Amino acid sequence: MGFFVLTNNPMVHERAASGIEVVFAAGGIKGVFECAARYIADGHRLLTHPLSGSVKPGETPYKSVLLAGEASPAMDDASARLISEAFAACDKFAERSAFWPAHTLRDLQMIDLSLIEGALESARCDGMQAQ
């Protein structure tokens, strides 16, 4: 069973070269969640929590999620619920990330990368293969 990363984080996107399939999503965190919701509707299961990290939506513009590579015939209800709740959570936080200077954005990219790297390590331990 394989997996892929859906992200709007350029630092994660660069990792495509290291054998991980990365799908780049346009837009902010909501853009990533919308794209993830479409994959979930098509039968892909969510493998990481969409609200990963204590840097809240609005405070960071970056988000990466891990999705199962194979689509099941039926939509995974738990994945649909998680992405829907995560989308709703975004509205609780004021959007501030547009004001961030370049070095802050880099820090935020690095943190998002580290969160997804931890998940990739777990996925490999589970015997999952990158797409």
Site residues, other proteins (CB under 8 A) = 46-49, 51-56, 59-60, 66, 82, 85-86, 88-89, 91-94, 96, 99-101, 103-108, 110-111, 114-119, 122-123, 126
* Least distance (Å) between residue 67 CB and other proteins: 11
Interatomic CA distance for residues 29 and 93, integer angstroms:
12
Comparing CB distances to other proteins, the nearer of 8 and 48 is 48
* Least distance (Å) between residue 84 CB and other proteins: 10
CB 32 within 8 Å of CB 12: no
Return the sign of the alpha-carbon dihedral for residues 25, 40, 64, 53: positive
CB 75 within 8 Å of CB 40: yes
Comparing CB distances to other proteins, the nearer of 6 and 111 is 111
* Least distance (Å) between residue 80 CB and other proteins: 13
Interatomic CA distance for residues 55 and 6, integer angstroms:
18
